[in-house]
Amino acid sequence: MNPIVIVAVVVIFLLFAFIKCFVIVPQAHVFVVEHLGSFKCEWQTGPHILLPFIERVVGRVSMKEKVVDFKPQPVITKDNVTMQIDTVVFYQVTDAKQYIYGVENPLSAIENLSATTLRNIIGEMELDSTLTSRDTINTKITSILDQATDRWGIKVNRVELKNILPPREIQEAMEKQMKAERERREKILQAEGDKNSQVLIAQGEKESQILRAEAKKQAQILEAEAEKEAMILRADAIREQKILEATGEAKAIEMVQQALAESITKLNSSNPSERVIQLKSLETFEKVADGKATKIIIPSEIQSLAGLATSLKEVGKDS
């Protein structure tokens, strides 16, 4: 054989072996390495050198959280109703060595374990509680799977029931029941609405009557107060009027008395004769009589003047 060809083959083989010996572990991954068929170590993120023909990578494990949607599983409830339930499992590898060596097919193991666990839990529950207890079922399955898969280097973070499908006849019965329940609630709500409406109307009428009564009361109070003030004003006006009348009469009397006193003063200052005084007396008696008196007593001092007046009257007739 041509030596050049042999050298070329050897160089290519060594280059290929070198490339295979240089291994880079990506982020969030762990490589499990065996040395002559037995476990040696776990390679974390970064470059590593692999001994050719002696060491080999038996598992490339992703440490990311994974989501697996398992197909629906038939389960039977406590009251003998068969339902189809499918689950969604969220899990994460925590130990690459146990994940590689702990179980042959981890996904199949988790699926079968979740199915058997689901049958055990649903078998202890009736149909109605099964449909209304998703959170309880999720919590129980998660706890059981997490404990069972711990020896496989797997941590189950969460299990969710995706769909719960009862038989068709059960669905139809449930739909009728829900329809009847909605109609019953509608009637109850309508009755409560009518009741509340009547209560509100009655309360409104009551408050309206109270307000009208209070308004009437206030009107009567205002009317009485107005009447009282009017009476007080009328009484004050009458009192003022009487005061003014009395004041006027008093002033009039005072003026008459003052005039009389002045006339007497003037009369005395003029030094009247006895005849003048007697004549004034007659004038006074004339005013006193005023045609209304039926009897008048004339003092003796002025009787002679009366005779004189009679004589003057006769003389007037003769002439």
Q: What is the pLDDT of residues 249-265, one digit of tens each?
A: 888 888 877 877 777 67
List the single range of 11-15, 50-54, 161-165, 193-197 with lowest mean pLDDT: 11-15
Q: For residue 139, what pLDDT is reported? A: 92
Q: Does 126 score more than 70 pLDDT?
A: yes
Checking if the pLDDT of 189 tops 80, the result is yes
Domain contains 183: no
Determine whether 87 is exposed, middle or buried from the number of CB atoms within 10 Å of its CB (0-12, 13-18, 19+): buried
Query: Which residues span the domain enclosing 150?
Result: 65-166
| 45 SS3 class | coil
Predicted local confidence at residue 1, as pLDDT? 58
Task: Tell me the pLDDT band of 300, cut-offs 50, 70 and 90.
Answer: low
Question: Is residue 162 in a domain?
Answer: yes
Region 107-119: mean pLDDT is: 91
State mean pLDDT over 159-184. Answer: 84
Mean pLDDT of the chain: 82
For residue 202, which amino acid is it?
A
Q: What is the mean pLDDT of residues 13-25?
A: 78
Instruction: Give the E-state strand segments of the chain in sequence order.
Output: 22-25, 29-35, 38-43, 46-49, 55-62, 65-69, 73-76, 82-93, 154-165
Q: Which pLDDT band, with edges at 50, 70 and 90, does 95 fall under?
A: very high
Residue 111: exposed, middle, or buried by beta-carbon count in 10 A (0-12, 13-18, 19+)?
Answer: middle
Residues 69 and 162 in one domain: yes
Selected residue with higher pLDDT from 183 and 315: 183
Same domain (yes/no): 93, 157: yes
Flag whether 203 is in a domain: yes
Residue 48 lies inside a defined structural domain of this protein: yes
* Residues 152 and 80 reside in one and the same domain: yes
Q: What is the pLDDT of residue 315?
A: 41
Question: 173, 31, 164: which is closest to 85 by C-alpha?
Answer: 164
142 and 198, same domain (yes or no): no
The answer to whether residue 311 scores a pLDDT higher than 50 is no
pLDDT of residue 313: 45
The answer as to whether 176 is a domain residue is: no
Residue at which a domain ends, from 47, 62, 77: 62
The percentage of residues in the chain with a pLDDT greater than 70, rounded to a whole number, is 82
Domains in the chain, number = 4
CA–CA dist 63, 29 (Å, integer): 5
Which of 256, 271, 286 delimits the end of a domain? 271
Question: What residues have CB less than 8 Å from 27, skipping those under 6 apart?
Answer: 45
**Among 17, 44, 62, which residue terminates a domain?**
62
Confidence check: pLDDT of 298 > 60 = no
Does 280 lie in the same domain as 256? no
CB contact at 8 A, 31 and 23 = yes
- Asked whether residue 181 is domain-assigned, the answer is no
CB 72 within 8 A of CB 165: yes
Length, in residues, of the chain: 319
Higher pLDDT, 176 or 96: 96
Q: What is the pLDDT of residue 295?
A: 55
Tell me if 225 is assigned to some domain. yes
Mean pLDDT within 193-216: 89
For residues 161 and 91, membership in a common domain is answered with: yes
| pLDDT for res 18 | 73
Same domain, 69 and 84: yes
Say yes or no: 69 and 53 in one domain.
no
**Same-domain check for residues 305 and 251:** no
Give the three-state DSSP class for 236: helix
Mean per-residue pLDDT, 119-146: 89
Give residue 154's pLDDT: 94
Q: How confident is the model at residue 312 (pLDDT cuts 50, 70, 90)?
A: very low
